[in-house]
Chain A
């Protein structure tokens, strides 16, 4: 069995003391930022990126991915106990989770959230391991035309799933693509849009943009909101759900895992969308939908399974095709490239230790998270008593140090400031920055593949339609666009994001 041999390779890497430590550090930090509202995993990963330079690639990826899925666990704790979503993916957990806490059932709510997450995490790990081999094999057959079409599909997906206006999301993607092209043109060696600044020859620093857009600008916006939290003093007398509750939850967990696994792979998808979809499904098929919003345990189990499954399967396009499906995965691409690894289907064969090590670490990380979250839940809750006015100067300082340390460049700090201000502007006008960062990462790749495909076809754009895989990807893109424009779907989409 190849699968078992591969997983054995992976566990051999993930179980080394150093990597176990990095995995633990990652899920610990993830839980921390998940619990604290106002610090998103994307910000944390952006801040920590520069410090992963000196680590071996596998350790860096193990830690960074731990932050991402760890935050899904932590986010639910805050949602249940404080009725504040620690992360956007735990918004729906507030609905029933907090109601359960008010009814004195905080223990079972927290336990079921952790159990559902672990259950989904285990299945998602297996799905990644099984699906990645054939997908990588398929991807190795890709030529420039297929890659280009795949990226078009990915970007369209991120537009479809962005919050708010789709037209603005298109604009943000294009803006990202354009800024991604700043720097020396690889084919001719001519500088493009560098304003004659030598440092811009390598392009605009990715870390400076990411930390500016997601770190500093988030601080500027968060500080203008009132910072009050009311802690529900809950007695965690009984932690475990009853056998009946567990039985009620099992189908919801299974459905949540399935929904999350599928939506996670989709371009632009991921954890938040999966949890919304799962909640809607559970409410719809329930025999007693009126219980939802009043402490229905399925309303916690389903979305919690879905967000964790979605968080993990969103690694599939990155690991097998080298194409990031959402903004966090775009940061992971950044992390790999800093390490000198070009993400793509060749990573699996060229770097099996890295590839399978990261996958195996996800399961170990999930196991650690259950232990971290259930017995230690009191500790995390007490963290919420740390006021934001103490936290945010520290975040600002770490953002600065992180960006500066990339190349000891004052200009990177200037760029970070510029993009922080742009980030505030984008939020104020209702344009989401996530499609921008995806476009920024894909810009150079897309241009290169577009130019190569057109060169090979002697300038005939039909090459994208004549190659079967490329054509199929473009048909999918067209379908997505049609669906997006249909008035009924548009109304529904706005309704979903309203909730």
Chain B
């Protein structure tokens, strides 16, 4: 137990930050009147409501003891995240065959009980399967091999 409810505090602050960014981004947009609303009217109303509710949640959290912020398992988040990022960066240049292989390798290593040999085999199989299904059968416009 902690003295403040850290999870709620984090969520409340997150909401306030999102509202602040939104209000900054729409600062230039005209409000209009209630009968002829401009593009800024509804987003601004929503952002203010989000800020208020965020302040409420964060404020309430300061006075309520709660569980400590839940532990975060970074390994799967980083590795799966990296695999996704790699897909976006590599695909247009490396082609689907190579990208799929890499993505499966990186994502697959996120599991605690992974075995390298098995993973290499799965990566090769999935890469072949993806090329056959998505490019050959479904005709998605993606390069298969590296683009020079």
- From residue 45 to 68 of chain B, which have CB atoms closer than 8 A to chain A? 46-47, 49-50, 53-54, 56-57
With A178-B50, A421-B77 already in contact, the answer to whether A187 and B88 are too (CB < 8 A) is: no
Determine the main DSSP class of B at the interface with A: helix
A459–B85 Cα distance when bound, in Å, is 47
A56 located at the interface, meaning its Cβ lies under 8 Å from any Cβ of chain B in the complex = no
- From residue 177 to 194 of chain A, which have CB atoms closer than 8 A to chain B? 177-178, 181, 185, 187-188, 190, 192-193
Complex interface bits, A161-185 against B, C-beta within 8 A gives 1, otherwise 0:
0000001101100110110010001
Interchain CB contact under 8 A, A401 and B80:
no
Interchain CB contact under 8 A, B38 and A170:
no
Complex interface bits, A455-474 against B, C-beta within 8 A gives 1, otherwise 0:
10111010000000000000
Given the complex, which residues of A lie within 8 Å of B50, measured CB to CB? Answer: 171, 174-175, 178
A414 located at the interface, meaning its Cβ lies under 8 Å from any Cβ of chain B in the complex = yes
Q: For the complex formed, measure the closest distance between the CB of A405 and the CB atoms of chain B, giving whole angstroms.
A: 5
Interchain CB contact under 8 A, B87 and A400:
yes
Chain B's closest residue to A439 (CB) is B46
Pick from B80, B108, B141 the residue with the most CB of A within 10 Å: B80
Interface residue from B30, B49, B122, B142 paired with A174 (Cβ < 8 Å): B49
A45 located at the interface, meaning its Cβ lies under 8 Å from any Cβ of chain B in the complex = no
Interface residue from A223, A413, A459 paired with B87 (Cβ < 8 Å): A413
Complex interface bits, B117-140 against A, C-beta within 8 A gives 1, otherwise 0:
011001100100010001000101
Given the complex, which residues of A lie within 8 Å of B111, measured CB to CB? Answer: 223, 227, 388-389, 392
Q: For the complex formed, measure the closest distance between the CB of A446 and the CB atoms of chain B, giving whole angstroms.
A: 8
Query: Contacting chain B: which of A103-111, A425-433, A475-483?
Result: A425-433
Interchain CB contact under 8 A, B47 and A389:
no
Chain A's closest residue to B73 (CB) is A224
Given the complex, which residues of A lie within 8 Å of B18, measured CB to CB? Answer: 175, 178
Complex interface bits, A427-461 against B, C-beta within 8 A gives 1, otherwise 0:
01111000000000000000100110011011101
Interface residue from A51, A168, A219, A400 paired with B103 (Cβ < 8 Å): A400
Interchain CB contact under 8 A, A425 and B81:
no
Interchain CB contact under 8 A, B34 and A223:
no
Interchain CB contact under 8 A, B122 and A220:
no
A424 located at the interface, meaning its Cβ lies under 8 Å from any Cβ of chain B in the complex = yes
Chain A's closest residue to B77 (CB) is A220
Interface size class, chain B: 35 or more
Chain A's closest residue to B89 (CB) is A410
Q: For the complex formed, measure the closest distance between the CB of A465 and the CB atoms of chain B, giving whole angstroms.
A: 15
- In this complex, how many residues of chain A approach chain B with their Cβ under 8 Å: the count is 62
Interchain CB contact under 8 A, A167 and B35:
no
With A219-B76, A428-B7 already in contact, the answer to whether A178 and B43 are too (CB < 8 A) is: yes
Q: For the complex formed, measure the closest distance between the CB of A60 and the CB atoms of chain B, giving whole angstroms.
A: 14
Interchain CB contact under 8 A, B80 and A168:
no
Q: For the complex formed, measure the closest distance between the CB of A187 and the CB atoms of chain B, giving whole angstroms.
A: 7
Interchain CB contact under 8 A, B10 and A429:
yes
A399–B46 Cα distance when bound, in Å, is 31
Interface residue from B26, B34, B141 paired with A459 (Cβ < 8 Å): B34
A378 located at the interface, meaning its Cβ lies under 8 Å from any Cβ of chain B in the complex = no
A393 located at the interface, meaning its Cβ lies under 8 Å from any Cβ of chain B in the complex = yes
Given the complex, which residues of A lie within 8 Å of B83, measured CB to CB? Answer: 396, 400
A454–B42 Cα distance when bound, in Å, is 12
Chain A's closest residue to B127 (CB) is A397
A111–B83 Cα distance when bound, in Å, is 42
Complex interface bits, A48-67 against B, C-beta within 8 A gives 1, otherwise 0:
00010010000000000000
Interchain CB contact under 8 A, B43 and A417:
no
Chain A's closest residue to B21 (CB) is A193
Q: For the complex formed, measure the closest distance between the CB of B143 and the CB atoms of chain A, giving whole angstroms.
A: 11
Q: For the complex formed, measure the closest distance between the CB of B13 and the CB atoms of chain A, giving whole angstroms.
A: 10
Interchain CB contact under 8 A, B138 and A51:
yes
- From residue 243 to 271 of chain A, which have CB atoms closer than 8 A to chain B? none
Interface residue from A54, A171, A216, A454 paired with B84 (Cβ < 8 Å): A216
Interface residue from B42, B80, B88 paired with A220 (Cβ < 8 Å): B80
A420 located at the interface, meaning its Cβ lies under 8 Å from any Cβ of chain B in the complex = yes
Interchain CB contact under 8 A, A171 and B43:
no
B39 located at the interface, meaning its Cβ lies under 8 Å from any Cβ of chain A in the complex = yes
Name 28 A/B residue pairs within 8 A (Cβ), A-sorted. Answer: A51-B138, A167-B57, A178-B50, A187-B39, A220-B80, A223-B80, A227-B111, A392-B107, A392-B110, A392-B111, A393-B107, A396-B107, A397-B126, A401-B96, A401-B134, A404-B142, A408-B141, A413-B84, A413-B85, A414-B88, A417-B84, A428-B7, A428-B72, A429-B8, A429-B10, A451-B37, A457-B35, A459-B33
Inter-chain pairs besides A417-B84, A417-B85, A451-B41, 18 sampled, C-beta below 8 Å: A171-B11, A171-B54, A175-B18, A178-B43, A181-B43, A193-B22, A195-B25, A216-B81, A393-B123, A397-B126, A399-B84, A401-B140, A410-B88, A413-B88, A451-B42, A454-B35, A454-B37, A459-B36
Ranked 10 nearest A-B pairs via Cβ: A413-B88, A459-B35, A224-B73, A223-B76, A459-B34, A185-B39, A429-B11, A393-B108, A400-B87, A389-B111
